Structure 1
């Protein structure tokens, strides 16, 4: 039986501002934004990922205080290029740290506007063998 992690709740204080940060600065795809019955929630997915983030004021989304989620991790094929891309979009990022010269040992990090922290790990093998092939991605961008 497959067990797939597909959604992580990220606690934020400003839904619209967080959509702008994750969509416009990080390049996550906006899957949906819903306002109904007094609830407002949204789902975004990093390009190439099978796991999305959600935030808002829907059921269970207020269990954590904004900014308390630490250690979320993204994986990229080229940490230097990813870091430069984020810097170019005005995201404050840490320096790159190489813990191990082998693939997977290079990292940098950043925080979202609320202080939820993200690590970005370089796995060069993702360039040639992405987890989700481009032709299979939902909402892929041309």
Structure 2
């Protein structure tokens, strides 16, 4: 079994302002398909954002909130 995991610790993180570096990340293989699936279920979600060099694995994100208002992100690996 395989699992991707991201742990970010440090000051001056280069990947944007919150919630980009302050919320749990759900890792997906195809972020465009995941955003489309959530949008089809009426989940308000951001557009896909490139938060690192183009083509760099793990640098595409989208953001949404759960029903209690807590932020989450999708990260494409």
2:57 — aligned with what?
103
Structure 2: give runs of 5+ residues left out of the alignment: 4-21
Does 1 or 2 have the higher relative contact order (CA < 8 Å, sep 6+)?
2
CA distance in 2, matches of 1:107, 1:72: 12
Q: TM-score if structure 1 supplies the norm length?
A: 0.37
Cα deviation, residue 114, structure 1: 1.0
**Aligned residue pairs: how many?**
56
1:83 paired with 2:35, answer yes
Instruction: Give the 5 Å matches for 1:99-138.
Output: 99-100=51-52, 101=54, 102-123=56-77
Deviations along 1:58-96, one digit per CA (max 9) or x if unpaired, are xxxxxxxxxxxx601100001111000000011000111
| Runs of 4+ in structure 1 over 4 Å off | none
Structure 1: give runs of 5+ residues left out of the alignment: 1-47, 50-69, 124-142
CA-atom RMSD, angstroms? 1.7
Higher helix share: 1
Deviations along 1:5-36, one digit per CA (max 9) or x if unpaired, are xxxxxxxxxxxxxxxxxxxxxxxxxxxxxxxx
Cα deviation, residue 122, structure 1: 0.3
CA distance in 1, matches of 2:69, 2:46: 14
